[in-house]
Amino acid sequence: MVSKIRIGAHVSVAGDVSQAPLRAKEIGCECFQFFSRPPQGGKGKEIDAKTIKEFKKNSKGLEAYIHSPYYINLASAKNNIYYGSIKVLKDELERGNLLGVRYMMAHLGSAKDLGRSKGLKKAIDGLVQILKDYQGKTEFLIEMSAGAGEIIGGTFEEIKKIVESSKLKKYDLGICFDTAHAFASGYDLRDEKAVKQTFSKLNKVLGIKRLKLIHANDSLADLGSHKDQHAHIGEGEIGLKGFKAIVQFAKKQKLSLVLETPDHDKRIKDISILKKMK
């Protein structure tokens, strides 16, 4: 865990990754998240010595995290997607390590081709291939999903099956808790009591030590809807009361919060709201 709670947001890497921390500072971030390659597909720009030096210089005082591309699917029946996902995630960890990034988080994908049981087994085997020879310092986090259809990782119990499986237990994997995804998966976060109950359950099932980072997003979708629809802080179903309790929990646990809310200009206001709650 970090030494203090930090508030930040996902930022653009237009130009190259070294520009991301400068954009983060412009909007008042204390930490930031970015894509190191195009999220919808395509090769990432080479990270050379000059880029590494600039990124680290520009990141001084901030903590950085990489979000993997959206097309990752470690439960796919198609070998090109499956092995392609493994390669990309291995590369992202290595790129993160070069840049001195603390965490790299990823959704594990959908089991719609294989069914739940086989999909989970394949995802576990894929994670083993990603982690077995990795020696870097950037930590891999599994991000909780909204649980739509056969998307993996929508419940604490399913994440437990993965991280505590016999093949993965030794890697002591951490998780990224997304407030909008969790809410859509049926975990209430609308007030202090609900927040306490949700994180108590997380602790009981997974252990709070696995929780490394929080994505702070309000939800346009209803509780248990399984719809991934982010909203600005206080403009969704979780609401300001819920986020005040979430921030206080994060403060107690020394967990940082990263905003992925829709509009860039409104995101600046979201940062301000969370900082005041802190």
Please report the pLDDT score of residue 2 as a whole number.
Answer: 45
Domain that holds residue 94: 68-277
Taking CA atoms, 75 is separated from 121, 138, 162, in Å, by 8, 23, 12
DSSP annotation of 105 reads: E
Q: Is the residue at 17 inside a domain? A: no
Please report the pLDDT score of residue 149 as a whole number.
Answer: 86
- Mean pLDDT for back-to-back runs of 10 residues, the chain (278 residues): 80 95 97 94 89 98 97 96 97 98 97 94 98 97 93 97 98 98 98 98 98 98 96 98 98 97 92 96
Please report the pLDDT score of residue 3 as a whole number.
Answer: 53
Q: Is the residue at 26 inside a domain? A: no
Number of domains in the chain: 1
- 3-class DSSP state of 175: strand
Q: Is the residue at 79 inside a domain? A: yes
> CATH number for the domain including 104?
3.20.20.150
Helix (H) or strand (E) holding 226: none
Taking CA atoms, 234 is separated from 92, 178, 182, 213, 216, in Å, by 33, 16, 16, 20, 11
How many Cα atoms sit within 13 Å of 161 on the Cβ side?
16
Q: Is the residue at 45 inside a domain? A: no
Q: Is the residue at 150 inside a domain? A: yes
Q: Is the residue at 55 inside a domain? A: no
194 phi and psi angles, rounded to 5 deg: -65, -40
Please report the pLDDT score of residue 4 as a whole number.
Answer: 81
Nearest residue to 214 (alpha-carbon basis) of 268, 251, 252, 178: 178
Q: Whole-model pTM?
A: 0.96
Torsion, Cα 68 74 100 19, to 10 degrees, reads -20
Here the tokens at position 3 are 């030494």
Q: Is the residue at 216 inside a domain? A: yes
Taking CA atoms, 215 is separated from 7, 34, 105, in Å, by 10, 13, 11
* Phi-psi group of 20: left, alpha or beta (phi > 0 → left; psi -120 to 50 → alpha; rest → beta): alpha
Q: Is the residue at 168 inside a domain? A: yes
Please report the pLDDT score of residue 224 as a whole number.
Answer: 96
